[in-house]
Amino acid sequence: MPAVTLTGHAYISVAGGDAEDFLQGLITSDVVSLPEGEARAAALLTPQGKILFDFLVSRAPSDSFLIETSEEQRDALVKRLALYKLRAAVEILPLAETQTTVTWDCDGEGVVDGRFLKAGRKILRRPGAVGNDTPAAYDALRIACGIVEAGKDYTLSDVFPHDILLDLSDGVSFRKGCFVGQEVVSRMQHRGTARKRPVILHAASPLPASGTELTAEGKPVGTLGTVAGTDGLAIVRIDRVADAMRAEAPILAGNVKVEARLPEWTGLDFPGDSTVAPVQ
């Protein structure tokens, strides 16, 4: 039973009689349908549809909600939520905990991480430090499942929800109605204009450091994110990667040749070439 304690994580309590309605009209995911025991990916967007803050949201006792985010985002997220509070009966409080323990391949305490559930893995999360394994084990699990995270794989305010698979992990609801940035995100969904997606990378030799540019046919296609030996994650221009695959041109991370595949659980194809993906 791997158990990893992640530092730099933080929690926010959103409580009060209007807590559910408050979050429902503000963030990307559908909290009304959120079952107890599940942590669902969500984001607060800019009016232009880019991710300003991202987090996991779960139900807590007494009709309240618990938001897990990064310690770096916590205070700014509390302030941003408070701006939208107005007269709602909502109390928004930062909590003192700064660590999260993640376990898998077992039953135990915690809420199920809905992102991994989509990928066929049951991952449990809970506040506090009770893990003994290294964070590298969790990074390897994320890579295998194609789960990207802010700071390691992308920069906030620089990506749309589709770029990090929120549209496929229940992180965006296209049925619940309005939320900040909803018009832009819905337009991308209905027009099918998402050009960036996470891919899982594999190389025959160790990959270079995170932040290394990925290129194909001399064009930039993305940036290397989380790395674990010969495997890694990146958010790429899938149209350019597809062009390179059709031309049998190498995709390079620095000088290292890599193979790129879309996470199988997404059901996504590289555009214009249905024989390439989904990956088997």
pLDDT values of the chain reduced to their tens digit, one per residue, 280 residues: 899 999 999 999 999 999 999 999 999 999 999 999 999 999 999 999 999 999 999 999 988 999 999 999 999 999 999 999 999 999 999 999 999 999 998 888 999 999 999 999 999 999 999 878 899 999 999 999 999 999 999 999 999 999 999 999 999 999 998 999 999 999 999 998 899 999 999 999 999 999 999 999 999 999 999 999 999 999 999 999 999 999 999 999 999 999 999 999 999 999 874 333 332 2
Give the pLDDT score at 100.
97
Which has the closest alpha carbon to 73: 139, 156, 148, 152? 156
Provide DSSP, 188-224: HHHHT---EEEEEEEESS----TTPEEEETTEEEEEE
How many other C-beta atoms lie within 10 A of the C-beta of residue 267? 10
CA gap 86, 205 in Å, rounded: 55
CA gap 232, 224 in Å, rounded: 7
Q: Where are the domains of the chain?
A: 3-184, 195-266
Give the pLDDT score at 107.
83
User: Has this prediction a pTM greater than 0.95?
Assistant: no
Six token digits for residue 96: 């003192």
Which has the closest alpha carbon to 47: 217, 192, 178? 178
Contacts 24+ apart (CB under 8 A), 216-222: 216/240, 216/241, 216/243, 216/244, 216/249, 216/250, 216/251, 216/252, 217/243, 217/244, 217/247, 217/249, 221/251, 222/196
In one letter, which amino acid is 65? Answer: F
By residue count, the chain amounts to: 280
CA gap 251, 259 in Å, rounded: 7
Which has the closest alpha carbon to 2: 108, 98, 149, 116? 108
CA gap 170, 30 in Å, rounded: 8
In one letter, which amino acid is 208? Answer: P
| Matching fold, domains 3-184 and 195-266 | no
Q: Which CATH class is domain 3-184?
A: alpha beta
Six token digits for residue 49: 């549809």
Q: Measuring CA to CA, how many Å separate 272 from each of 165, 265, 268, 275?
A: 20, 20, 12, 9
Give the pLDDT score at 108.
85
Six token digits for residue 256: 């290292």
Q: Which CATH class is domain 195-266?
A: mainly beta
